[in-house]
Structure 1
Amino acid sequence: MSKGIKIATIGGGSSYTPELVEGFIRNYEELPVRELWLVDIEAGKEKLEIVGNLAKRMIEKAGLPIDVHLTLDRREALKDADFVTTQFRVGLLEARAKDERIPMKYGVLGQETNGPGGLFKGLRTIPVILDICKDMEELCPDAWLINFTNPAGMVTEAVLRYSNISKVVGLCNVPIGMEMGIAKLLDIDHSRVHIDFAGLNHMVYGLDIFVDGVSVKDKVMDMITDPENSSFVKNIKGLGWEPEFIKSLNVLTCPYHMYYYKSRDMVEKAAKSAEEEGTRAEVVQKLEKELFELYKDPELDIKPPQLEERGGAYYSDAAVRLITSIYTDKRDIQPVNTVNNGAIASIPHDSAVEVSCVITKDGPKPVVMGDLPVPVRGLVQQIKSFERVAAEAAVSGDYDKAVLALTINPLTPSDTVAKQIVDEMMEVHKEHLPQFYSKVEA
């Protein structure tokens, strides 16, 4: 790696890519990227070219010697890579829109990474990520796989369990967003805030909160239950927590907990939004259209501020921070998805968890958190069961396991409803679920 770093980004035509490129530019001194390969599929060719050309203009403006390569040949991009980042969406936003709309017909939340939507995104994504892992074993066996593709926890679980790749880290922008939120609440610089994170992806809790190494958890819990500061807990527009609930839970929640602790409210809200302005996927499709029009402008050579409306705030901060810390053996503490190894007592050792880790050149070393508090332990274990069974269904193509996974998920009211949703979603996503259909055809 002495000549600089080669990074391959799978899903390089994503509207998020300019944010990642901005991060590489900003951190070039610590992280000397020599080659950036942006990879996509035939259906994403036009977007790849638009984003790739913007990336080249951004790098040219910064005056840095980073070569940007655009390709539809994944294997060419992976050869001798040092880091592989994944940010792809099987079935594109059209698939996400189906994941959101179909469950709502059954009174169940349709959402990208939770409940039926999370299950089907996992079923479509896991076989593809495992294919990427096979290519990596052959073409860049020493590379680190940094996975952003949702559902990140389930995908990391599948890679750890069903591939020979051990150098994998799942990453999400939710914990860094929580840190930023606390820093804003306390009106201090983000670098002074440290949170002990433990749980799963999109199911992570802040067990303790520190400023300059001193716990301020009691102060923060008081502040976020004060109606004056209600904007902090209104993670999802227009819905706040009951102060009594948050106070007695006594841990920091993440925005996705709303789907579990306020299930009925969230289903009603999603249905109303879908009716008035479209599902989140449909809203994002419109946003993306506008973004790509901006990206086409040959005069544009910066990340446009409109990208922040897309929803991935701090994405590049999290990605570049992690890659830099592995590359420089920094040994700072960051929350990532990795194998548990006893860090959280009530989760199996060999399962993926989202937990604060010391980041070294050999990857994340989880900080031992002990047991999860009793009030949150059961929900985390239930979601881990769901992820494990869902990953098994994705790999085996076992229909019964898919129904079982969705029935286990707390957002599903019954096995009957689970079966109905699975049947309908299997049909509409048939093209992207070959593992379930090849046996039938054979």
Structure 2
Amino acid sequence: MKLAVVGGGSTYTPELIDGFARLRDALPVGELVLVDPDAGRLELVGGLARRILARQGHPATVTTTSDLDAGVADADAVLLQLRVGGQAARQQDETWPLECGCLGQETTGAGGLAKALRTVPVVLDIAERVRRTNPDAWIIDFTNPVGIVTRALLKAGHKAVGLCNVAIGLQRKFAALLGLPPGRIHLDHVGLNHLTWEFGVREGGPDGPDLLPDLLAGHGDAVAADLRLPRAVLDRLGVVPSYYLRYFYAHDEVVRELGGKPSRAAEVAAMERELLGMYGDPALDRKPELLARRGGAFYSEAAVDLAAALLGDGGSPVQVVNTLNNGTLPFLPDDAVVEVQARVGRAGPVPLAVPRLDPLYAGLVAGVSAYEDLALEAALRGGRERVFRALLAHPLVGQFDLAEQLTDRLLAHNKEHLAWI
């Protein structure tokens, strides 16, 4: 089996390689191709990848290339994990919205729109080249904003599934709190990418007993602290929101916090410099502990599970993925992309039925989904007015003058990445 990783020079990649090595029985990879335009990073990451596999006795070969067409040729699956503009662009996304009193974040709000505008055209070009070179390959998208990017891929007719590590991260945390193996925990995970709630924590499978009341009663303080939300919020909702919901439920508090400390982009850039220095050490043959602070925890397990289900008979039968709504949430269009549980096999994911959402959650999902539709239109067709409309529709913006200010700043900071400007 051959897998190609586009954005293979990312500091995330050793996490992925470690998962391939540990979980070889689920996904028998014979060849890994790391594709990246940055030859220097590729050399460092590729060298560590080979040492990780060798240390664990994995027979797969690792090749590196800046030639996308050659890298994806004959691949069974192509994983996308790229960042257009790098950490410098992320730094801008997290900074200029704060000048308007709005959230500065790389996937949510105005910064997330900027990232979508930069990313969607690049990803669609990559996907089209994959289709020309290897039309049978699955595309697994880990590139943010995952919901919008996956929607763009599916709208263009590509064999694509979106992947996020939020669900698997919560699964592992809940399992540890409840003293159960992670495989015994099944989440009733419903919403959009980075806008989800856990409506049930079931033991054994989708139809198992719901442990959510016990989790909140016995470990509510720990869960709330991890989400950085008051315990009372969880008690009143009776569900567990993802940590991205804090940007909605405590927006002004988050803006005050972000305005008084270095950006996450600056922290990550410093970590990346340190990690790349470590990767160059020929004695290093395992992922360093610092990588856990970089983000993307359990990404490798989720990626292996998804690829194994799409490409063969392995993988969990039910997984949380980003895929077409197709009636799963009846108040959304069928071509919206939702993040829900699905049965995954060679033909792709089929979402499981979900209970009717309370208007408290359905209203926010509908609003953000409408924004994502407008954001994709702006990414595909360009134009200042389309950017403005997307921002005006976003629940965290929603004011005419504010949307105008944010539009001006977004365009000013992204001239080098948006050809239509």
Pairwise same-fold verdict (TM > 0.5):
yes
Given candidates 107, 113, 118, the residue that maps to 1:119 is 113
TM-score, with length taken from structure 1: 0.92
Query: 2:102: which partner in 1?
Result: 108
Which 5+ residue runs of structure 2 have no aligned equivalent? none
Query: 1:294: which partner in 2?
Result: 278
CA contact (8 A) 2:224 2:234 kept: no
CA distance in 2, matches of 1:335, 1:116: 26
CA distance in 2, matches of 1:299, 1:394: 44
Mapped pair 1:388 → 2:373 = yes
CA distance in 2, matches of 1:261, 1:411: 10
How much does 1:247 deviate? Answer: 2.5
AA aligned opposite 1:288: E
Given candidates 280, 296, 301, the residue that maps to 1:312 is 296
Could you say what secondary structure the match of 1:7 adopts? strand
AA aligned opposite 2:289: P
How much does 1:387 deviate? Answer: 0.7
How much does 1:413 deviate? Answer: 5.1
Query: 1:241: which partner in 2?
Result: 230
Could you say what secondary structure the match of 1:388 adopts? helix
Q: Quick one: percent identity of the two aligned structures?
A: 40
CA contact (8 A) 1:343 1:370 kept: no
Mapped pair 1:329 → 2:317 = no
CA distance in 2, matches of 1:77, 1:63: 24
CA contact (8 A) 2:375 2:387 kept: yes
CA distance in 2, matches of 1:187, 1:29: 26
328-337 vs 395-404, greater mean Cα deviation: 328-337
Mapped pair 1:202 → 2:194 = yes
Q: How many residues are treated as equivalent by the alignment?
A: 417
CA distance in 2, matches of 1:104, 1:266: 10
CA distance in 2, matches of 1:224, 1:170: 31
CA contact (8 A) 1:137 1:164 kept: no
CA distance in 2, matches of 1:356, 1:413: 31
How much does 1:350 deviate? Answer: 1.6
CA distance in 1, matches of 2:25, 2:201: 31
How much does 1:432 deviate? Answer: 0.8
Given candidates 62, 80, 88, the residue that maps to 1:94 is 88
Could you say what secondary structure the match of 1:324 adopts? helix
Query: 1:164: which partner in 2?
Result: 157
How much does 1:242 deviate? Answer: 4.6
CA contact (8 A) 1:346 1:371 kept: no
Could you say what secondary structure the match of 1:359 adopts? strand
Mapped pair 1:179 → 2:171 = yes
CA contact (8 A) 1:113 1:150 kept: yes
Mapped pair 1:70 → 2:64 = yes
How much does 1:312 deviate? Answer: 1.4
CA contact (8 A) 2:105 2:112 kept: yes
CA distance in 1, matches of 2:29, 2:349: 21
Mapped pair 1:267 → 2:251 = no
How much does 1:173 deviate? Answer: 0.5
CA distance in 2, matches of 1:181, 1:375: 26
AA aligned opposite 1:421: L
Could you say what secondary structure the match of 1:206 adopts? strand
Mapped pair 1:222 → 2:217 = yes
AA aligned opposite 1:85: L
CA deviation profile, 1:169-221 (whole Å, cap 9, x unmatched): 10000011111121122122211111111110000111221123211222223
CA distance in 2, matches of 1:379, 1:149: 23
CA deviation profile, 1:30-70 (whole Å, cap 9, x unmatched): 311111110111xx221111001111111222232211111
Segments ≥4 residues shifted beyond 4 Å:
none
Could you say what secondary structure the match of 1:207 adopts? strand
AA aligned opposite 1:170: G
CA deviation profile, 1:64-92 (whole Å, cap 9, x unmatched): 22111111111111111110000000000
CA contact (8 A) 2:105 2:111 kept: yes
How much does 1:311 deviate? Answer: 1.5
Which 5+ residue runs of structure 1 have no aligned equivalent? 438-442
CA distance in 1, matches of 2:234, 2:293: 28
CA contact (8 A) 1:346 1:372 kept: no
Give the 3 Å change call, closer, same or farther, for CA 67–232 of structure 1 in structure 2.
Answer: same
Given candidates 346, 354, 379, the residue that maps to 1:369 is 354
How much does 1:254 deviate? Answer: 0.4
TM-score, with length taken from structure 2: 0.96
AA aligned opposite 1:191: G
CA contact (8 A) 1:12 1:40 kept: yes
CA distance in 1, matches of 2:218, 2:354: 24
CA contact (8 A) 1:345 1:370 kept: no
AA aligned opposite 1:250: G
CA distance in 1, matches of 2:249, 2:161: 28
CA contact (8 A) 1:17 1:51 kept: yes
Query: 1:440: which partner in 2?
Result: none
CA distance in 2, matches of 1:63, 1:221: 42
How much does 1:381 deviate? Answer: 0.6
CA distance in 1, matches of 2:203, 2:397: 39
CA distance in 2, matches of 1:232, 1:353: 24
CA deviation profile, 1:245-278 (whole Å, cap 9, x unmatched): 32232222100000001111111111112xxxx2
Mapped pair 1:231 → 2:227 = no
CA contact (8 A) 1:185 1:232 kept: no
Could you say what secondary structure the match of 1:219 adopts? helix
Could you say what secondary structure the match of 1:215 adopts? coil
CA contact (8 A) 1:406 1:418 kept: yes
How much does 1:114 deviate? Answer: 0.4
CA contact (8 A) 2:102 2:396 kept: yes
CA distance in 2, matches of 1:304, 1:261: 35
- Let me know the Cα RMSD of the aligned residues: 1.4
Query: 2:402: which partner in 1?
Result: 417
CA deviation profile, 1:339-395 (whole Å, cap 9, x unmatched): 111122222112110000111111111001142222111001111011110011000
Could you say what secondary structure the match of 2:360 adopts? helix
